[in-house]
Amino acid sequence: MAELVARLKAAPGRYNYASQGVGSLSHLESALFLDGSKAQAEHVPYKGSAEALPGLMSGETAFMFDSVASVRTHVAAGKLVALGTSASGRVPQFPDAPTMAELGIADLKADNPFAFVAPAGTPPAVIAVLTDAVRTALADPKIIETLTRAGMVPAFQPPKDIARIAAEDLAFWPGMARRVGAKKE
């Protein structure tokens, strides 16, 4: 990672970075990374990971933030290197990849959680049954193994915690999207 940052700083504007598209999480994470490392690179928005990853692997772009699920097979095959993660803690799929906080970029933390949701107005008794079912499922070693293999970091969180995380994300990411010039389409 230090080598990448040094190259970016040595030649401002020379290097490009890939994202899944304007305003995508990978775009916003990259902007935070560049701010935190005080480096510069040009944004190359693609239409999703499937288009961005070949550009990254061919050297058209210098780096990209993407999900573990999207890149793990390429990392395992030696086509990509996991330089770091934006997660709040190290991810089991890339235990040697430090977090951005460990690399000195404290403002870049994006756990990108997946939540099991139900429609607004679902009766509390139904929510309780669903919550118990999810808690039980996430205690099953086979399910944990399957989700981990798929690139996820399974962890149960009750509805109130999911609501808090969603509120925090909704308070932060729209401002970041405006800052990088992403517009609603």
What is the CATH number for 25? 3.40.190.10
**Does the global pTM surpass 0.85?**
no
- Domain limits at 96? 2-112
Residue 178: inside a domain:
no
Residue 172: inside a domain:
no
Residue 86: inside a domain:
yes
Going residue by residue through the chain (185 aa), what tens digit of pLDDT does each one get?
889 999 999 999 899 999 999 999 999 999 999 988 999 999 999 999 999 999 999 999 999 999 998 999 999 999 999 999 998 889 888 999 999 999 988 778 888 778 889 999 999 999 999 999 999 999 999 999 999 888 888 899 999 999 998 998 888 888 888 888 777 66
Please give the pLDDT value at position 51: 96
Please give the pLDDT value at position 149: 84
Residue 9: inside a domain:
yes
Please give the pLDDT value at position 109: 81
Residue 149: inside a domain:
no
Residue 71: inside a domain:
yes
Residue 147: inside a domain:
no
Residue 162: inside a domain:
no
Do residues 16 and 60 make contact, with C-beta atoms less than 8 angstroms apart? yes
Domain count, the chain: 1
